[in-house]
Amino acid sequence: MKKLRLIVTTKCDKNCEGCCNNQFDITNLPTIEPHEMSQYDKIIITGGEPMLVPGRIETLVYYLRKFELYEGNIIIYTTDLYSIGELDICGDINGITITLHDDDDLYEFEDTMRRYLEFNDTWLKNKSLRLNVFKGVRLPQKEYLKDWIVKDNIEWLDNCPLPEGEELKRLKNLL
């Protein structure tokens, strides 16, 4: 399976000590246009924090789906689950990967899941849901994890090797 890891922004409101983006120059990455993305089976939208530029995500995904430029899976990597539910194109994405780096991320995740369950929301249904939890951060309460595949005790990796089959590229105009 050929996957595109797509950097859509360099913005982030966190400052993680092992952030991969500090280990290379993002501006030197190859760029890709939406009409070139059909060669990949999966697009992984990442940053920075993609949910700091929600309009950019909505425009990209709307364009890919509306003009039938891309039929594969679209996954968003973020720390901000709440904002995914607010996206106009939430129904067009196939998966969400949340990473909990610290207690702030953990409390936000639990708060969003608490409200999701309380209001009988449905926007997470039929999506692939993965939760990465860094070492030292406790797991969210069990009741919130029913639909999530959890990987815990995550640690920073030197030089941030890309998983096999993935290519790292960026949008041309980074915000």
Residue 154 touching ligand SF4 (CB under 6 A): no
Give the DSSP letter of residue 126: T
| Range in contact with ligand SF4 (rule: CB under 6 A) among 35-43, 47-55, 61-69, 164-172 | 47-55
- Distance between CA atoms of residues 119 and 140, nearest Å: 19
Choose between 2 and 14: whose C-beta lies nearer to ligand SF4: 14
CA quadruple 147, 105, 60, 5: dihedral sign:
negative
> Per CB under 6 A, does 101 bind ligand SF4?
yes
CB of 29 to ligand SF4, least distance (A): 14
Should residue 72 be labelled a site residue for ligand SF4 when binding is judged by CB under 6 A? Answer: no
Strands 95-100 and 149-154: unpaired
Cβ closer to ligand SF4: 101 or 170?
101
Give CA–CA dist 107/146, Å, rounded: 17
Verify binding: residue 27, ligand SF4, rule CB under 6 A.
no
Alpha carbons 154 and 95: distance in angstroms, whole number = 20
Strand ranges, E, within 79-162? 95-100, 128-134, 149-154
Q: Which of 4, 53, 79, 131 touches ligand SF4 by CB under 6 A? A: 79
Tell me if 15 contacts ligand SF4 by CB under 6 A.
Answer: yes
Beta bridge partners of 73: 42
Residue 68: CB minimum distance to ligand SF4, A: 31
